[in-house]
Amino acid sequence: MKKNIFYSSALAALLLFNSCATNPVTGKKEVMIVSEGQEEAMGLQADPQIVAQFGLYNDPAMQKFIQEKGEQMGAVSHRKDLKYTFRVLDSEVINAFAVPGGYVYFTRGIMAHMNNEAQFAGVLGHEIGHITARHSASQQTKATLTQGLLLGGMILSPQVAQMGETLSQGASLMFLKFGRDDERESDELGVEYSTKIGYDATHMADFFQTLQRSSAKAGAQELPDFLSSHPNPGDRYTTVKQLAAQWKQQVNTPLKENRNSFLKLIDGIIYGEDPKQGFVENQVFYHPELKFQFPIPQAWQYQNTPQQVQMAPKDGKALMFLTLVPGTALESAAQEVVTKYQLQPLESKKVTVNGLPAIAMVADQKPSQEAQQQQQQAQVRAMIYLIQYGGNIYGIFGVTSAQDFNAHAPTFSNTMQNFKTLTDPEKIGRLPERVRIKTVARASTLAQALTSFQMPQARHEELAILNGMQLNDQLAAGTLIKIVSK
C-alpha cells in the first residue's frame, strides 16, 4: 500500500513538473496542464456554441471596427503570434469576455454604454490580457486539480443542467470567475495595450464608473454581467487612473479619446431587448416572429437566447425551458425526446393546448452509470409538453428533483397549458429601441438637453448613465449625446 502511495505521489510530481509552462506576460514558470495548443482547440470548440447561444449582431461597420482594433492590439500584446477573433454578440446584457485561444466577445449592450474609442480600447485590452496571461487556462487547471469546480454553479445536478443544455464547453468557459489578482493583472495589461495603440487609458477607469452606476440603478441583485464576472475591488478606479498616468508619461505622445467617431459608429444600435427575438411584459413572454406567448412564473428569472428560453426560481431548485424539437409528427418527436434525454416515461397522453395538438408527459431521467455507482445523485423528474404549431414542434420542459416535483408541478403546468397563439397586433409589430446620436443645439446641462429632445423625465438618470455623464454636467453647443427612441 505504501509503495503504491509512493508511486502515485511520484507520478503526480512528475506530471506537475512536466506541466510547468512559462507565462507569456510574467516570464515566470507556473503549473499549467492546458497547453497553448489545447487552448486554441478549446476556443475553436467554444466559439460556435457561444455564437449559437447569443447570435451575432448584424452591423458590418461595427464588426470591422472591433476586428481591426483587436488585431492592432494583438500585435502589441505578449502573444503576438496568436490568431485573434473578435465578435459582437446580439445581447442586451452589459458584458465582454474572452475564452482561451484568442476569442474575444463584446455584447451590443456594452457597446451601447461606451462613449468613446478609448473606453472600448481599455476593455478590449483587459480581455486580451486574460488571454495573454493565460488566466482561463490557469482556471481550467485549478478546476481540474480540484476535481470539477466548473460544475459548482449548475442547477440541482449535472443531469438537470444537461436537460437544459447548459453544460456546453462554451458556457463553462464563459462563466469562469477570475480572482482579484487576475483582474488586477488584466487591468494593468488593458492600460498597457490600449496606450500602446494610442488611446488614453484614463477613460477605461471612467467606464468602470458607468458600470457601477448601472449596477446601482438596477439594484445589487442585478449587476451588469461585466461586473458580476469581473470582481471589482474598491480601489480599481483609482489604480487604473494611476497606471494610465504612468503609461502616459512613458509614451510621451498625444493619446486619443475619439468620442465623436465612436458615437457615430454606434448610432442606431439596438438598446435593450430586441422584441423580434422575444420579450417579456407583465410576466408574459411574447415572440412576435413565431407568434406565440406563454406566462413566466412569478419571481422566476429568465434568459432568452436564440436556442431556448430558460426560466428558473432564485433558489435554483427547478428549471423550465422552451425550445424547438426536431420532427414533424408529435409521436416521433416525443420518442426522440425520450431517447435524447434518456427518460423513463411515467405517463404520456395526447392533449389540446388552447386549440393546438400536443403530447403531455411526466418522466424520470435514467441515472448515469457514475450516479448509480455513487448512489448519491438525486432522481430527476420532468414534466414535458410537446406542442405543434405553425409548422414547428415546441417543447416546454419543467425539470426538478423527484422529491420536489409535486411542489413545482402546478407552476410547470400553468406555463405549459397557457402556451397560445399571439394575435395582438401591437405585440407583433413592436419595434426595438435604438440609441440615437443627437447634436446639442445650444449650451445647456445634460438634463436640459434631454428635455429638448423630448426624453421623459423618468428616464433622465438612465440616459445620464448611458452617456457617462451627470444630469447637471454642462454641455457646449455642438456636443453629441445619446438619446433612445424607436
> Quick one: which of 131, 139, 142, 100 has its CA closest to 16?
142
Whether residue 170 is found in the same domain as residue 231: yes
Residues in CB range of 349: below 8 A, 6 or more apart: 359, 360, 361
Whether residue 408 is found in the same domain as residue 454: no
Whether residue 55 is found in the same domain as residue 188: yes
Whether residue 234 is found in the same domain as residue 372: no
Query: DSSP states of 124-142 as a string?
Result: HHHHHHHHHTTHHHHHHHH
Judged against a pLDDT cut of 60, whether residue 169 lies above it is answered with no
Judged against a pLDDT cut of 70, whether residue 373 lies above it is answered with no
What is the pLDDT at residue 21? 57
Whether residue 481 is found in the same domain as residue 376: no
**The one-letter amino acid at 191:** V
| Final residue in a domain of this structure, among 233, 266, 299 | 266
pLDDT, tens digit, 9 for 90 and up, residues 88-97 = 999 998 889 8
CATH number at 356 reads: 3.40.1000.10
In a domain, 272, yes or no: no
Whether residue 116 is found in the same domain as residue 168: yes
In a domain, 7, yes or no: no
Judged against a pLDDT cut of 50, whether residue 220 lies above it is answered with no
Whether residue 57 is found in the same domain as residue 89: yes
| Final residue in a domain of this structure, among 403, 428, 453 | 428
- When pLDDT is cut at 50, 70 and 90, the band that residue 378 belongs to is confident
Q: By the 8 A CB rule, do 244 and 205 touch?
A: yes
Cα dist. 339→119, 366, 384, 479 in Å?
Answer: 49, 10, 14, 61
- When pLDDT is cut at 50, 70 and 90, the band that residue 26 belongs to is low
**The one-letter amino acid at 108:** R
In a domain, 10, yes or no: no
Mean pLDDT of the chain: 83
Helices 180-196 and 202-218 sit at what angle, rounded to 10 degrees?
130
| Final residue in a domain of this structure, among 266, 293, 326 | 266
- When pLDDT is cut at 50, 70 and 90, the band that residue 276 belongs to is very high
Distance CA 385, CA 322 (A): 9
- When pLDDT is cut at 50, 70 and 90, the band that residue 185 belongs to is confident
Secondary structure (3-state) at 270: strand
Judged against a pLDDT cut of 70, whether residue 150 lies above it is answered with no
Whether residue 137 is found in the same domain as residue 232: yes
In a domain, 4, yes or no: no
Helices 135-145 and 36-54 sit at what angle, rounded to 10 degrees?
100
Ranges 275-279, 374-378, 456-460, most confident: 456-460
Q: By the 8 A CB rule, do 47 and 156 touch?
A: no
Strands 103-107 and 85-89 turn out to be parallel
In a domain, 140, yes or no: yes
Record the cell numbers describing residue 165, joined without a space: 443544455
Cα dist. 128→84, 318, 406, 407 in Å?
Answer: 9, 36, 48, 46
Q: Which of residues 6 and 251 earns the better pLDDT score?
A: 251
In a domain, 3, yes or no: no
Judged against a pLDDT cut of 90, whether residue 475 lies above it is answered with yes
Phi/psi class of residue 454: alpha, beta or left (left: φ > 0; alpha: ψ in -120 to 50)?
Answer: left
What is the pLDDT at residue 8? 35
**CA geometry: angle 475, 477, 480, nearest 5 deg:** 70
The total of structural domains in the chain comes to 3
Q: By the 8 A CB rule, do 250 and 237 touch?
A: no
Q: By the 8 A CB rule, do 379 and 367 touch?
A: yes
Across residues 249-261, what is the average pLDDT? 93
Judged against a pLDDT cut of 90, whether residue 175 lies above it is answered with no
Whether residue 179 is found in the same domain as residue 134: yes
Whether residue 299 is found in the same domain as residue 251: no
- When pLDDT is cut at 50, 70 and 90, the band that residue 1 belongs to is very low
**390 secondary structure, DSSP code:** T
Across residues 156-175, what is the average pLDDT? 44
- When pLDDT is cut at 50, 70 and 90, the band that residue 34 belongs to is low
Judged against a pLDDT cut of 50, whether residue 362 lies above it is answered with yes
Whether residue 212 is found in the same domain as residue 332: no
Ranges 105-119, 162-176, 221-235, most confident: 105-119
What is the pLDDT at residue 123? 95
* Positive/negative CA dihedral, 286, 287, 290, 295: negative
- With cell 466548473, the residue in question is 150
In a domain, 394, yes or no: yes
In a domain, 467, yes or no: yes
Secondary structure (3-state) at 443: coil
Distance CA 129, CA 211 (A): 20
> Quick one: which of 118, 126, 127, 123 has its CA closest to 203?
118
Whether residue 227 is found in the same domain as residue 353: no
Q: What is the domain extent for residue 375?
A: 279-428
What is the pLDDT at residue 230? 53
